[in-house]
Amino acid sequence: MGHTLFKNGTHTADQDASGCSFFRVLQDSGETVGNFPQGFANFLELPACSLLQNSLMTIARKHLIDRENGGYHHIVTRCVRRAWICGVDPLTKRDFSHRKGWIEARMLSLSDAFAIKVYGYAVMSNHYHIALKVEPKRVAEYSDEEVARRWLIAYPPKTASQKDCKIAAILEDPERIKVLRQRLGDLSWYMKCLNNHIARKANIEDDCTGKFWESRFHSSRPMKSLEALYACMAYIDLNPLSAGAADGPAEKGDHTSLGHRMKEARQNEEKMTSGMSPMGICPDTGRIRSNLSEALPLTLENYLSHIEWLAKCSKSKSKRVPAYQTTAPASIEDPNLYMQAFVKFLRRWGRKQGRGDEPLHV
């Protein structure tokens, strides 16, 4: 089988005749290689397409999102110019941290309206991450009235007294119902309802006009396994730690999914040994909580062991694969595939979003 060798910066790719190419990350004098922490850079081989993503042309969203079948996705949205307009601005010293709560509340309330489940998220000072599942086929189960009610969660009337009139008006238009049903299963519409709402509120607060977000949103291809989803969630939950916004993986603050899961676990120990459910907002109290339906097979206790393992691997100096394989938690079936998936997210998004020239260290 013939091979073609080519280089890209500090990476070398080995491509066989079948077109399958792999990068071997080269050791670079004991320092961080590319965006990889040293511990990861020593021993990983990854598909070339996952490492060259930054240098390739933008892929049309219709090729990234399966509008018929949905799937698990990693979503990232940055503030315009990657400015610090959701946290404390280091230049003006103005504190915009309350906007993190806006994003968090809107994100989770919309998940109750759309056929979308949020399994993990982290709202940072200038960007946010979401790990979610899109279920477009589920909208077929909604009654016409449920479609109307769900749509009014996304676009509520100005007064509560107008709600029934608006529902009646929607129900009188079958074509309108058809359009809204399709939108409720569409990831792009979910992100539009989320980002537009936040941008308008921020512009009103700043008494200005113009863009608040750098672009619509960035999306991964559908994740094809739960291992990939777990790795994605771990990468997201390690973001505050890597940015210096948290003291440890379990202490994530008020604007991450893991932070809320840990708060629940302190109040109810059974949460540690039960599967992780999608995040949502309690209709009675308005508080963020994990829902009771469609829990993942991974328990919170095992998930925390994943995060601690990844943090240790990032500090490892061993060049041998067994250095991380032998220490992997028992709940990880294939440590090599899990680690590859994690580093894929790290390589694609692993930069401090406000300072694009500095690597992110987990």
User: Regarding the domain delimited by 3-139+184-349, which CATH topology (the fold level of the hierarchy) does it fall under?
Assistant: Alpha-Beta Plaits (3.30.70)
CB atoms within 10 A of CB 308: 15
CB pairs under 8 A, 24+ apart, for 3-10? 8/52, 8/55, 9/34, 10/34
Name the phi and psi angles at 131, rounded to 5.
-110, 115
pLDDT tens profile 128-148: 999 999 999 999 999 999 999
pTM (2 decimals)? Answer: 0.77
Predicted pLDDT of residue 41:
41
Nearest of 123, 115, 119, 125 to residue 146 by alpha carbon = 115
pLDDT along the chain (362 residues), means of 10: 35 34 32 39 38 49 74 91 78 87 94 95 92 94 96 91 92 96 95 95 91 87 87 88 54 77 90 92 82 86 89 62 66 83 74 34 29
Predicted pLDDT of residue 159:
87
How far is residue 84's CA from residue 90's CA, in Å, rounded to a whole number?
8
Contact in structure between 86 and 123 (CB atoms under 8 Å): yes
CATH 3.30.70.1290 domain locations along the chain: 3-139+184-349
Predicted pLDDT of residue 298:
93
Edge-first strand order for the sheet with 3-8 is: 3-8, 11-16, 21-25, 45-47
Predicted pLDDT of residue 61:
67
Distances in Å between the Cα of 175 and the Cα atoms of 74, 128, 164, 166, 181 are: 32, 35, 19, 15, 10
